[in-house]
Chains A and B, each alone.
Chain A
Amino acid sequence: MFLFFISELKDAVRVRHSCPLFVKCLQKMCQMQRGAGSSSDPCRRPLLQVRPTWEVGAPPCSFFNESRTGSGSCCLSVRSCFREYFTHKFRAMLGKTRLIFPGEKVLLAVSGGPSSSAMLSQVQQGLGQSAQKKLRFLPGLVHIDEGGALGLSLGERQRLVSELKAIFQTSGFPFHVIPLEQVLDLPTSAVNTTPPSSDRAPDCYKAAGDGGELQQGGALAEPSVHEAQTRSLQQLLGSATTLTAKEELLRTLRQHLLVHEARTRGYSKLLLGESCTRLAVRLLTCVSLGRGAHLAQDTGFSDCRFGDVTFVRPMREFSAKEIAVYNHMFRVPTVVIPSLETKTLEKASIQRLSESFVSRLQQDFPSTVSTIYRTSEKLQTAGGGCCEEDGRCLLCLCSLDTAAGKASALQARLISEQLCCQKPAGTVKVEPSPPAGPCCSSADGECGSAAGGAVCCSSEAPEKKDLQKLLCYSCQLTLRDMSSVAHLPQYILTEAQRRKRRSLMKDEISEFLLEEEEGSS
C-alpha cells in the first residue's frame, strides 16, 4: 500500500510543471484536510491511500472521487492537472530522444502490472489526441503468459489471459498473447544480433499512410500450449538450482521471445514499462550479479543489443508511487500476475533481496531511488555498439566482459577455484564423494573453471564447460547454478555448437588471418 502525501505531490509536480490552478487545488485540499482532521501539519498527512486494486475490500478513494459532495470541481482540476503532468513527462521522454519515428511499428510489452498498464493507458490517450499532439506511431501489444513457468493450472492461466485480453480489446490495438512455452521452438536468430534493415522505414511510412489493417484491434493467430511443452519448460527452469539463477534464466528467455515476436511481426521498437523504482532495483541487482559492464543496456532508456529491435523504457522517470496514483485516479485496469518471487522470503534470491533493500532504504532516505537512477544515467555501454557475434554473450547478447586482464576479479575467481582442486600428479584415490560439499577426487587433475558454491567441479559436464566460454561473466554464474544444460532450448544449444565450430575453424586458420586493426578500414 502506498501512502501519498500532498507535499510529495507538490514536489513531484513542481519539478516540471507549475500550474497555478493545480497549486490552488492542492491548497484547497490542505484546507479541507485541516478542517476535517486533527494533525498539526495537514501536508504531512496521507492525502490518499492507494491500495493495489487486488487488495480485497480496498476502500474507495476518498479524495479523487468525483462524486464526493462539495469537492467535485476541485478533484476534477487536480485530476486533469495530474494527467497533464504525467502525460507531459511521458511525451517528453519519448520526444527528447527522437528514437521513434512517425509511422513506426512499436510493440508494447504489457505484463498487466501497474507500470506497463499505465504505459498502455498513456499510448492509448496519446493516439486519441488532437492531430498536433497525437502520437504518430503504430502500436501493438504483446503479453507473455508465464503461467507455465510458475506452475499455474490451466484454468488459472486462462483466467489471467482472458482478463488481459479484455483490457487489450478495449484498446483497439492488435495484440499477441504468447505462452512462454513458445520459447522452446525459437530459431537461432533469437540469439543473434541482426543489423537493422534500411528498407523498413519506408515500409512503415507506407503502412501509416494506408492506415489500414494494422489499426484493427484483435488477437492474431493464437498459439496453443501443449502439456509436453509446459513440462519441458518446467524441467528447464527446474535445472536452475538457485532462485537467483532461475529468475535470470526466465528473464533471458522472456527477452528472446519478445525479440522474436517483434522481429517476425515487423516491429522495430519494443517498449518496456519499467519504472524508475524497478530500474533502481535492477541496477543494484545487476551490480551484485556481476553485470557491471552491461548496466547501461540493462537499465538505460534504450537498448539496441539486438540490432533490428530496440528496447525502449519510456516509464523510467516515473516512480512506482506516481504510477500507482495515476492508475488509481484514472482507473487504469491492471491484472495481478504472480511471479517467481511471489511468496518468497527476503533472502531467497539476489533479485528479491535487492528489492527489499532498496525499498527499506527508500523509507529511511527518500532520495535513494532517484540517486541510484541518476547513477545509471551516467553509464554507457561497454565495448561500443556492434561487434562480431562471437564477441557477444550467447544468452544476454551483451558484449563479452570476460577478456579481462590478468589482474582482475575474473582471474581471481578462477585462481581460487583452481587452487582448491589441484592435486599433485599421481595421487589417484577413488573415494566415495561426500554427499555435501564439493568433491574433487577425480584423478585427471583438471578442474572445471567454473566450479563454485557446493558444486563438484570435476563432475561438470564438458558441454557445460564449452557453453561457459560463450557467456559473459554474469551468465556464467547463472549457468554455474544449473544442474545440467540438457534442458536448454534447442536454439541455444544449436547456436552454441555453431559458435564452437566456428571458433575451432578460426583456430585452424589463425596463422593466415591478418590482425584486424581497430579504426583501420
Chain B
Amino acid sequence: MPVSCSSCVEKRAMLKRPKTGHSLCKECFFMAFEEEVHQTIVNASLFKSGETVAIAASGGKDSTVLAHVMKVLNERYNYGLELMLISVDEGITGYRDDSLETVKRNQQQYELPLKIVSYEELYGWTMDAIVKQVGRKNNCTFCGVFRRQALDRGALMLKVDKICTGHNADDVAETVLMNVLRGDIARLRRCTTISTASEGEGVVPRCKPLKYAYEKEIVLYAYFKKLDYFSTECIYSPNAYRGHARTFLKDLESIRPSSIVDIIHSGENLSVREGVKMPVQGTCSRCGYISSQALCKSCVLLEGLNRGLPKLGIGKHHRLHGKILSQQPLTEKEERKLKSVES
C-alpha cells in the first residue's frame, strides 16, 4: 500500500525524513528542508539586506546544496543579498581538477559569479612548490594551516561582507563530541555558535546556514534535486579520534535519530566553571588573523618558505617571532637548525 505524504496528505510519500521519521512527498520534503534553512537564517539573523555573501564552494555535497538553497531562498524571501561562490585552488596538480570542474558547472547552473582564489595569489606559493621545498613528510602542516586562512584571505581580497560555509548538523555534533573527548573546553564553548563576528581585521565573519541540517537530508535533497556534486570525501589529515567520533555519532543516530540535534543542544547549553582558564585570542601583528602568538601560523610558515628555512613553521619556535617581526637576522646556529628538512 503506498503511503501518503504526511504533510499534504495528497501525494504519495517518496521518502522517510531521517530527522523526524515522517513520510513525505518530494515537494513537501524540498519545502521542509528549505524552510528550515530559512528559519535558521531568520532566527539567527545571519544576514542583512545589501550584503555581499560568499559561499565557500568545494564542489562537495554540503557546499553544492548550500549554494542551491541560498540562491532559492534569496529570491523567494528577498534577502537582498549579493551572492557569489568562492573556491580555493591549492595548486596541487591533478587534485582539484575534478572538484573545480564541478564548482564551475554549479556556477553556470545557479548563475552565480565564481571566484577561484589560488594559493599562488594568496601566498605566492602553490602547494606543489611547497612540497618541493619541504618534502612530502611535512606538507600536511602547511596544507592545514594555509587552507584555514585561505578563505579569509580570499574573502578579504574580494571585499565580501560574509562567508557562509557548508557545515552541517553532523559536523557540528561531531565537533562537540571531539572536544568532549579531547577535554578542549575553549573549543567546546565556541564550536556550536552559528556565526562568528568579525574578530580582527583579517577575519571575515562566517556563518553556517546548514547548522541544523542533517547530512543524510543534504544527500537526499541533492539526490532528488539532481544536484551535481563531487563525491569524494574531503581529505582531512587522517585523525583517528575524529573517525571514532564520527562512527559513534552514526551509531547514536541509528538508535535515536534526534541525537544529532540533541548533542548540539548539549553544546549550546554548557556552562563553564568560572576561573577555568580560556586562551586569550590575539591577532597576528602582520596579517591581523586570529592568533595566540605574535605571528599567526601561516605567516610563520610563509616567512620560513620565503627565507628558505622551511622548518621555521614546523615545531615550536615562538622565541623567534620577535626577530622575524623586526626583521633581524637569525644567528648561524638558528639558521642551521631550521634549514635541514629531511624529505
A-B interaction: yes
The residues of A with any CB-CB pair to B shorter than 8 Å are 242, 244, 283-284, 286-293, 295-296, 347, 349-350, 353, 357, 361, 364-365, 368, 371-372, 374-375, 377-382, 401, 404-413, 415-417, 419-424, 427, 429, 431, 434, 437-441, 451-455, 473-474, 477
- Closest A residue to B177 by beta carbon equals A287
Q: Does B183 contact A (CB under 8 A)?
A: yes
Q: A380-B273, A438-B6 are in contact. Are A453 and B266 (CB under 8 A)?
A: no
Closest CB in chain A relative to B265 CB, distance in Å: 4
Contacts of B273 in A (CB 8 A): 296, 377-380
Q: A350-B252, A378-B276 are in contact. Are A411 and B43 (CB under 8 A)?
A: yes
17 extra interchain contacts, Cβ-Cβ under 8 A, other than A287-B177, A353-B251? Answer: A293-B271, A347-B251, A347-B254, A353-B248, A353-B252, A364-B240, A371-B183, A377-B273, A378-B273, A379-B271, A401-B269, A404-B265, A407-B40, A415-B35, A420-B28, A423-B9, A434-B1
Question: Contact at A419–B35, with CB atoms within 8 Å?
Answer: yes
Contacts of A440 in B (CB 8 A): 6-7, 22
Bound-state CA distance A288–B259 (Å) is 6
Question: Contact at B9–A441, with CB atoms within 8 Å?
Answer: yes
Bound-state CA distance A413–B266 (Å) is 13
Q: A293-B271, A429-B9 are in contact. Are A421 and B22 (CB under 8 A)?
A: yes
Bound-state CA distance A92–B42 (Å) is 52
- Ranked 9 nearest A-B pairs via Cβ: A292-B266, A407-B44, A290-B262, A293-B269, A412-B212, A420-B22, A409-B265, A406-B43, A380-B273
**Which chain B residues (233-275) contact chain A, with CB distance < 8 Å?**
240-241, 244, 248, 251-252, 254-259, 261-274
Bound-state CA distance A368–B240 (Å) is 13
Q: Does B8 contact A (CB under 8 A)?
A: yes
Q: A416-B32, A438-B21 are in contact. Are A292 and B265 (CB under 8 A)?
A: yes
Q: Does B71 contact A (CB under 8 A)?
A: no
Stretch at the interface among B12-20, B112-120, B146-154, B301-309: B12-20
Contacts of A290 in B (CB 8 A): 262-263, 265-266
The residues of B with any CB-CB pair to A shorter than 8 Å are 1, 3-4, 6-10, 16-17, 19-24, 28, 31-32, 35-36, 39-40, 43-45, 176-177, 180-183, 185, 188, 194, 211-212, 240-241, 244, 248, 251-252, 254-259, 261-274, 276
Contacts of B274 in A (CB 8 A): 380
Question: Contact at B261–A409, with CB atoms within 8 Å?
Answer: yes
Q: A361-B181, A409-B261, A438-B21 are in contact. Are A244 and B255 (CB under 8 A)?
A: yes
Contacts of B263 in A (CB 8 A): 287-288, 290
Total number of A-B contacts with CB less than 8 angstroms?
Answer: 202
Q: A292-B269, A361-B244 are in contact. Are A416 and B36 (CB under 8 A)?
A: yes
Question: Contact at A427–B9, with CB atoms within 8 Å?
Answer: yes
Bound-state CA distance A406–B274 (Å) is 26
Closest CB in chain A relative to B300 CB, distance in Å: 28
Q: A350-B255, A419-B7, A419-B35 are in contact. Are A296 and B22 (CB under 8 A)?
A: no
Closest CB in chain B relative to A72 CB, distance in Å: 43
Bound-state CA distance A406–B268 (Å) is 13
Q: A296-B271, A416-B32 are in contact. Are A372 and B183 (CB under 8 A)?
A: yes
Contacts of A401 in B (CB 8 A): 265, 269
Bound-state CA distance A422–B43 (Å) is 20
Indicate which residue in B28, B266, B276 contacts A287 across the interface (CB closer than 8 Å).
B266
Closest CB in chain A relative to B182 CB, distance in Å: 7
Bound-state CA distance A474–B7 (Å) is 27
Question: Contact at A404–B36, with CB atoms within 8 Å?
Answer: no
Contacts of A350 in B (CB 8 A): 252, 255-256, 259
Contacts of B43 in A (CB 8 A): 405-407, 411
Bound-state CA distance A379–B256 (Å) is 26
Q: A361-B181, A419-B35, A473-B265 are in contact. Are A438 and B23 (CB under 8 A)?
A: yes
Question: Contact at B182–A371, with CB atoms within 8 Å?
Answer: yes
Q: A288-B252, A353-B251, A440-B7 are in contact. Are A404 and B22 (CB under 8 A)?
A: no
Bound-state CA distance A365–B211 (Å) is 30
Question: Contact at B21–A453, with CB atoms within 8 Å?
Answer: yes
Q: A415-B39, A420-B17, A440-B22 are in contact. Are A408 and B255 (CB under 8 A)?
A: no
Bound-state CA distance A293–B268 (Å) is 8
Closest CB in chain B relative to A288 CB, distance in Å: 5
Question: Contact at B185–A378, with CB atoms within 8 Å?
Answer: yes
Contacts of B257 in A (CB 8 A): 452-453
- Closest B residue to A368 by beta carbon equals B181
Closest CB in chain A relative to B241 CB, distance in Å: 7
- Closest A residue to B214 by beta carbon equals A416
Closest CB in chain B relative to A456 CB, distance in Å: 9
Question: Contact at A413–B255, with CB atoms within 8 Å?
Answer: no
- Greatest chain B CB density within 10 A among A244, A292, A406, A473 is at A292
Question: Contact at B32–A420, with CB atoms within 8 Å?
Answer: yes
Q: A287-B263, A372-B183, A407-B40 are in contact. Are A244 and B256 (CB under 8 A)?
A: yes
Closest CB in chain A relative to B69 CB, distance in Å: 15
Closest CB in chain A relative to B259 CB, distance in Å: 6
Closest CB in chain A relative to B116 CB, distance in Å: 32
Indicate which residue in A287, A413, A427 contacts B261 across the interface (CB closer than 8 Å).
A413
Bound-state CA distance A26–B263 (Å) is 45
Indicate which residue in B32, B40, B176, B258 contacts A477 across the interface (CB closer than 8 Å).
B258
Bound-state CA distance A119–B43 (Å) is 50
Closest CB in chain B relative to A377 CB, distance in Å: 8
Closest CB in chain A relative to B233 CB, distance in Å: 22
Contacts of B262 in A (CB 8 A): 288-290, 409, 473-474, 477
Question: Contact at A284–B180, with CB atoms within 8 Å?
Answer: yes
Bound-state CA distance A383–B271 (Å) is 9
